[in-house]
């Protein structure tokens, strides 16, 4: 029989009728932690990829698109971010992006899955890029919800890099009014809460819209924005929330100055990219304007 | 054996190692025309889809994203489009979008594949939405290249909705200096040439960049822009070319006025969307600024 | 993007974790009849295939393996088959094999799905090969269960070519003691009842064993036999049941004489093949000898 | 997005248009040895599987079907096997089956790939089942071709468990007249040479037939036989060659006595199974009787 060139595949299902298969060059790790199923693999097109519970979390090829988009609009919106809190963010790339800001004095990251964090440190060192050893980094392995309850510090920015609040997921209990009240209580005046917030593609935006709708009851400014992340196969959305500042209304010069202060070079984000990701297509604005269900 | 719920699948390969499978609810047509292999099928997520030579051309769910993005920036950039020429565009949706403009007096469409055009009229009537019967439509089944040579009319806008200029494709002979000279000869002063121009995703932007680089030798203004089209699984790019007008520099009010004049409602495009699609991410601007190969 | 050579696939799932995909050259028909979902397609390796509810029913390349195995051991076991009844058998190939016997005076076939029968006549004429027009053929579109109740004729052989008795399937009500009693009542003395009876592969033989075990309460001789049918991706099993004759014990000369009387040439079955298919591997004989569940 | 239940798949291609995907529960090892690409993985239906160059070599669920069929007809055909030689056979299961025979005094196994042998010992201990440590086992890591040239011993049975002689494969140089002469020179009078010999399915039997045809010039008795091996997705064929004995003509009592002497219990093979696997279907006998190409 003919030799099968690619025998190993990673299949991601976006729906029972949509299945994207990536040939795997190498499976670097796979198993179950206490909390989730994980895999670290390498594909020809995307390089190394982290997969949790069958969902792509980030790829070497485009993780900077995701992580710059998650972190920088929120920090750019602040006069001066000193203290930052990350919920989740196990790969270490969110931490890396925060610590590229020289004004940040401490970045606390709370991730529940110590086993996945250790795997990422070892097998995905490009993601952390040294941030794990930055003296300003405080990495706590623990439950984000409990941390929010018990912690008494306050933060200029809280960045939620958790998985989606689907009914079965560990993130489900982290998406409700009680938690938002906890988040707000941990934010300094003028602080910003930003979260990855599902997809913005035409056929799959209901969860994002519901998240946005829900958060409007808690913050004066709730801004949707999104970028196409090829490894996710879709448009990925975020929400920037604050009582003080509208991240979507920042002017270009301010963003250029902000980006200029960062250590190293951006790949994706700057003032023009900011304009792109905060300018929403008509169909999404219409959906966001509709009344409907909220998380309780 | 257990009943297989979805037995019929459409697999699109983006690379030998990347394969996206869509379950097919119904195959409405499939075969070979004189020029290409075609299929019209229906999937649960995207609705009806037109597939040519194994590549998704457009889907019911998001064809408006593609076609509004192809047509309206070019027309918005003109003071008053009277005469428009479409190269390719067999589905009829490019024609539909052009004819939504009340000032257009005639829209000529030249597509080589009469069999596919007839199938689209019959099986994808939502795409044409009556445009085929508009007295301003002039549909010519023939070779676009020969038409450009032999025609003596001049157009305010020429819209190229051809497949990608890959070495094997029927579009290959349509992408070179001689053709650009023909296109320019058919443009009125102040006219705009717009073309769909491959993808802008980080791993697959070389062809787009080469197309942009090539066209800069022929037009004073060559603007890249792109939108995420879910059915294409990626960010789809376009080029707006003109000696007179920079489509990327149009102000929002002008676009809003332009959109206000169109018959019917837009789904995707307006002034905010225009800002989005013409604001390019850093990595793409860097790639576009590099020197490199051009089409001869 | 590269042209996808094979865009259309038929995926058959044998388990949620086992999926066999066949590239489709042409889909000749697909739809829903009153009773089932059907497709007739062509693949490069198997030629035309009939697919019902996502399960391969037969392929042009190897349907003779299946149909010769279903029909000839039963008829060879009879002194002289005059009257034969087929339950199901919509493709017409079971009818064809029966009518190849010159002694058969009438073959009655009762299939519930007239729409599928018509499709097979039109698109799979190689299966019937003229048998539909044989004056000895009596084709009744109707419910096999009701036919068994209401009919008063008796048959030398009853051949069940129904789909598997899975809880959700239309064949489920046809596999129980009441039906076996009806079948026996329709058999002449010395008659044989043969049925396709699921798979005999090591990982998937429980249903076959349960069917065999059940029938032993109704017939003196119940013989399992099986052949590998490539289009089914597995070993396909049958049961030959009779109070008078043990089909597994026929001697080679008798079979050779039987085959010699048939019109046309066999592809698969003769005395040596008979020895093959009735000689069971050890693991299957052990499973058949175990006590266990029966159909009620 | 919904959680993908099975994210990891092993795809085996039997043709560019036939693709069988198995969900992988665990990948135990994967990499490249000096000679081939290897993977050891576990699937829900087949248990552990060894995959070399993208081809399934054996599975926990049915390797006994393959290995009993490879070994026992040859040994049963001998009066008394004392010395046995295995070419290839890296998993250790061929060795295990040979050493189940109490009369075997020494079994020499020559496999080129020491790395794969070590992996099989460690990760597939069920295959060897202690045979590696049997004092009668002599395992040589080296080139089978060179061994046949340089060795001066003679064997009662030589069992070839090499991969198929396809033009690109490492087995290609092992399938020609010079090698058969070497094999014969190493066989004792009355000895038997048996080899796995590609597939016997209707659509894919040309290589087997060519192998059989070739060997008939070297041995007085060349017997094709085959069994359905579910993990191979097809009917797998073998050739038993000898100048002294026709393995296909052994009588049942002799085989029963042979099997009775083996240590432990058989799963698949005994006298009835022998009758099955050596009784060939008509289409295969016809193909074997045709004149045609041979290996030079």
What value of ipTM does the predicted structure carry?
0.95
Nearest to A7 among D26, D39, D168 (CB): D39
Least confident of A95-99, B173-177, C79-83: B173-177
Q: Please return the burial class of C79, using the count of CB atoms within 10 Å of its CB with bins 0-12, 13-18 and 19+.
A: exposed
Tell me the nearest-neighbour CA distance from C258 into chain D, angstroms.
15
Report the alpha-carbon distance of residue D180 to residue D87 in Å, rounded: 13
Q: Does A1 have pLDDT greater than 50?
A: no
Q: Is residue D152 part of a domain?
A: yes
CB contact under 8 A, A54 and D7: yes
**Model pLDDT, residue C8:** 96
Q: Note whether A4 contacts D164, CB cutoff 8 Å.
A: no
Residues in chain C: 296
Average pLDDT over residues A87-110: 97
Say how far apart CA C254 and CA C266 lie, in whole Å: 16
Other beta carbons less than 10 A from residue A182's beta carbon: 18
Cα separation of B180 and B174, whole Å?
A: 9
B89 φ/ψ sector (left φ>0, alpha ψ -120 to 50, else beta): left
Question: Cβ contacts (< 8 Å) between D27 and chain A: which residues?
Answer: 8, 27, 30
- Which listed residue (A161, A182, A270, A271) is catalytic? A161
Instruction: Mean pLDDT check: name the lowest of A254-268, C152-166, D238-252.
Output: C152-166
Interface partners of C (3+ CB pairs, < 8 Å)?
B, D
Which of helix, strand or coil describes residue D248?
helix
* Nearest Cβ partner for A27 among D27, D54, D164: D27
pLDDT above 90 as % of chain B: 89
| Contact present, B209 and B288 (Cβ < 8 Å) | yes
Tell me: the pLDDT tens digits for C203-258? 999 999 999 999 999 999 999 999 999 999 999 999 999 999 999 999 999 999 99
Per residue in A9-19, pLDDT (tens digit) is: 999 999 999 99
pLDDT tens sequence across B99-140: 999 999 999 999 999 999 999 999 999 999 999 999 999 999
**Residue of chain C minimizing CA distance to B232:** C1
- List B111, B113, B161, B271, catalytic entry: B161
Count of A-D CB contacts under 8 Å? 89
Number of domains chain C is built from: 2
Separate counts of helices (H) and strands (E) for chain C: 10, 13
Read off the pLDDT of each residue in C68-73 and give the average, rounded to a whole number.
98
Q: Determine the distance in angstroms separating the CA of B184 from the nearest CA of chain A, rounded to an integer.
A: 31
Pair B36, B136 in one domain: no
Best residue in B5, B6, B7 for a mutation probing chain C (most C CBs within 10 Å): B7
**Domain with D50 in it: what CATH number?**
2.30.140.10
| Active-site residue flag, B113 | no
Within 8 A of C233 by CB-CB distance, chain B residues are none
Q: Are residues D188 and D221 in the same domain?
A: yes
CA gap A222, A241 in Å, rounded: 4
pLDDT for the residue A255: 98
On whether residue C212 sits in a domain, the answer given is: yes
Residues D14, D155, single domain; the answer is no
Task: Give the three-state DSSP class for A242.
Answer: strand
Last residue of a domain, one of B40, B59, B78: B59
- Taking an 8 Å cut-off on Cβ atoms, the answer to whether D230 and C230 are in contact is no
Please report the pLDDT score of residue B137 as a whole number: 98
> pLDDT at residue B163 above 80?
no
Asked if the Cβ–Cβ distance from B7 to C11 is below 8 Å, we say yes
Q: Are residues C156 and C17 in the same domain?
A: no
CB pairs under 8 A between C and D: 136
Range with the poorest average pLDDT among A134-143, C161-170, D139-148, D158-167: C161-170
Q: Among residues B234, B188, B86, which one has the least CA distance to residue B147? A: B86
C-alpha dist (Å) from residue C72 to A117, C98, C192:
65, 8, 11
Partners of C27 on chain B (C-beta within 8 Å) are 8, 27, 30
Query: Any residues with CB less than 8 A from the CB of A146 and at least 6 apart, and which?
Result: none
pLDDT tens, residue by residue, C114-146: 999 999 999 999 999 999 999 999 999 999 989
pLDDT band at A2 (very low <50, low <70, confident <90, very high): very low
Q: How many CB atoms lie within 10 A of CB D194?
A: 26
Question: HEC string of B24-47?
Answer: CCEEEEEEECCCCEEEEEEECCCE
Cβ neighbours of A202 in B, within 8 Å: 61-62, 65, 230
pLDDT in tens, A145-191: 899 989 999 999 999 998 777 777 777 777 787 888 889 999 999 99
Same domain, D214 and D72: yes
Q: Do C276 and D272 touch (CB under 8 A)?
A: no
Range of the domain at C134: 63-289
pLDDT tens string B191-217: 999 999 999 999 999 999 999 999 999
Model confidence at B241: pLDDT above 90: yes
- C189: CB partners within 8 A, 6+ apart: C244
Sheet with C137-141, side-by-side order of all strands: C137-141, C106-111, C83-88, C155-161, C187-199, C234-242, C221-229
B295 within some domain: no
Max Cα–Cα distance, chain A, nearest Å:
68
Contacts of C100 (CB under 8 A, 6+ apart): C262, C263, C264
Q: Which of B39-43, B252-256, C42-46, D173-177 has the lowest mean pLDDT?
A: D173-177
Residue A75 and residue A54 share a domain: no
| Residue in A21, A53, A199 closest to D3 by CB | A53
D111, D134, D156, D161: the catalytic one is: D161
Least CB-CB distance to C228: which of D15, D20, D228?
Answer: D228
Say if A4 falls within a structural domain: no
CA atoms within 13 A on the CB side of A145: 10
Answer whether C212's CB lies under 8 Å from D239's CB. no
Whether residue B45 contacts residue A15, with contact meaning beta carbons closer than 8 Å, is answered with yes
User: Mutate which of D230, D234, D268 to disrupt the C interface (most C C-beta within 10 Å)?
Assistant: D230
Q: Which residues of C touch B16 (CB under 8 A)?
A: 2
In a domain, C255, yes or no: yes
- Domain-located, residue D295: no
Residues of D in contact with C45 (CB under 8 A): 14-15, 17-18, 203
The mean pLDDT of A212-240, rounded to a whole number, is 96
CB contact under 8 A, D10 and A7: yes
The per-residue pLDDT for range B266-285, each reduced to its tens digit, is 999 999 999 999 999 999 99
- Give the residue-averaged pLDDT of A212-238: 96
CA dihedral (A143, A147, A148, A149) in degrees, to 10, reads 110
Within 8 A of C283 by CB-CB distance, chain D residues are 267-268
Which of the four pLDDT bands, split at 50, 70 and 90, describes residue B4? low
Judgement on whether residues B199 and B272 belong to the same structural domain of the protein:
yes
C140 shares its domain with C80: yes
Sequence-ordered list of residues with C-beta below 8 angstroms from that of A129, at least 6 positions apart, any chain: A92, A93, A96
Does residue B77 form part of some domain?
A: yes
Of C161, C182, C270, C271, the catalytic one is: C161
pLDDT in tens, A33-68: 999 999 999 999 999 999 999 999 999 999 999 999
For residues A214 and A255, membership in a common domain is answered with yes
- Name the residue facing B1 among C2, C39, C55 (closest C-beta): C55
CA distance C174 to C196: 13
Report the pLDDT averaged over residues A273-287.
98
In this prediction, what percent of chain A has a pLDDT beyond 70?
98
Q: What is the pLDDT of residue D3?
A: 53
Q: Which residues of C touch D233 (CB under 8 A)?
A: 20, 233
Residues B45 and B88 in one domain: no
In angstroms, the CA B81 to CA B204 distance is 33
Q: CA of D235: which chain C residue's CA is closest? A: C228
> Is the per-residue pLDDT at A3 higher than 60?
no
- Looking up residue D183, the CATH number of its domain turns out to be 3.40.50.150
Whether B294 is covered by a domain: the verdict is: no
Residues B103 and B184 in one domain: yes
**What is the share, in percent, of chain A residues with pLDDT greater than 90?**
89
CA distance B288 to chain A (A): 14
Does C265 score more than 80 pLDDT?
yes
C118 and C189 co-located in one domain: yes
Instruction: State whether A268 and B283 contact (CB < 8 Å).
Output: yes
Per-residue pLDDT of chain D (296 residues; tens, 9 = 90+): 445 579 999 999 999 999 999 999 999 999 999 999 999 999 999 999 999 999 999 999 999 999 999 999 999 999 999 999 999 999 999 999 999 999 999 999 999 999 999 999 999 999 999 999 999 999 999 999 899 989 999 999 999 998 777 777 777 777 787 888 889 999 999 999 999 999 999 999 999 999 999 999 999 999 999 999 999 999 999 999 999 999 999 999 999 999 999 999 999 999 999 999 999 999 999 999 999 999 88
Backbone dihedral angles phi then psi of residue B61, each to the nearest 5 degrees: -70, -35
* Contact yes or no for B9 and C12 at CB 8 A: no
Mark yes or no for CB contact A234/B230 under 8 Å.
yes
Determine, for residues C168 and B3 on separate chains, whether the beta-carbon distance falls below 8 Å.
Answer: yes
Give the pTM: 0.94
Residue B3 has pLDDT above 60, yes or no: no
């Amino acid at each position: 029989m003919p030799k099968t060139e690619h025998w190993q595949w990673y299949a991601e299902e976006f729906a029972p009728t949509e299945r994207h298969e990536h040939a795997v060059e190498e499976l670097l790790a796979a198993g179950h932690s206490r909390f989730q199923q994980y895999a670290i693999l390498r594909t020809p097109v995307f390089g190394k990829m982290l997969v949790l519970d069958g969902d792509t979390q980030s790829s070497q090829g485009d993780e900077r698109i995701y992580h710059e988009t998650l972190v920088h609009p929120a920090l750019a919106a602040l006069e001066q971010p000193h203290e930052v809190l990350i919920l989740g963010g196990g790969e270490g790339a969110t931490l890396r992006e925060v610590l590229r800001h020289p004004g940040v004095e401490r970045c606390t990251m709370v991730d529940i899955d110590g086993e996945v964090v250790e795997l990422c440190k070892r097998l995905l060192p490009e993601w952390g890029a040294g941030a794990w050893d930055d003296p300003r980094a405080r990495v706590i392995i623990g439950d984000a919800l409990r941390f929010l309850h018990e912690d008494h510090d306050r933060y200029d920015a809280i960045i939620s890099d958790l998985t989606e609040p689907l009914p079965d997921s560990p993130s489900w209990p982290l998406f409700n009014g009680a938690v938002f009240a906890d988040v707000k209580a941990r934010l300094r005046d003028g602080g910003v809460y930003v979260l990855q917030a599902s997809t913005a593609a035409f056929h799959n935006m209901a969860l994002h819209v519901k998240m946005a709708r829900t958060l409007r009851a808690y913050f004066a400014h709730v801004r949707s924005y999104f970028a196409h992340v090829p490894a996710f196969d879709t448009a990925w959305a975020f929400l920037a929330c604050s009582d003080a500042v509208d991240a979507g209304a920042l002017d270009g010069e301010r963003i250029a100055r902000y980006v200029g202060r960062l250590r190293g070079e951006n790949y994706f984000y700057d003032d023009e990219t900011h304009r792109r990701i905060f300018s929403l297509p008509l169909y999404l604005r219409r959906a966001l304007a509709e009344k409907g269900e909220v998380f309780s």
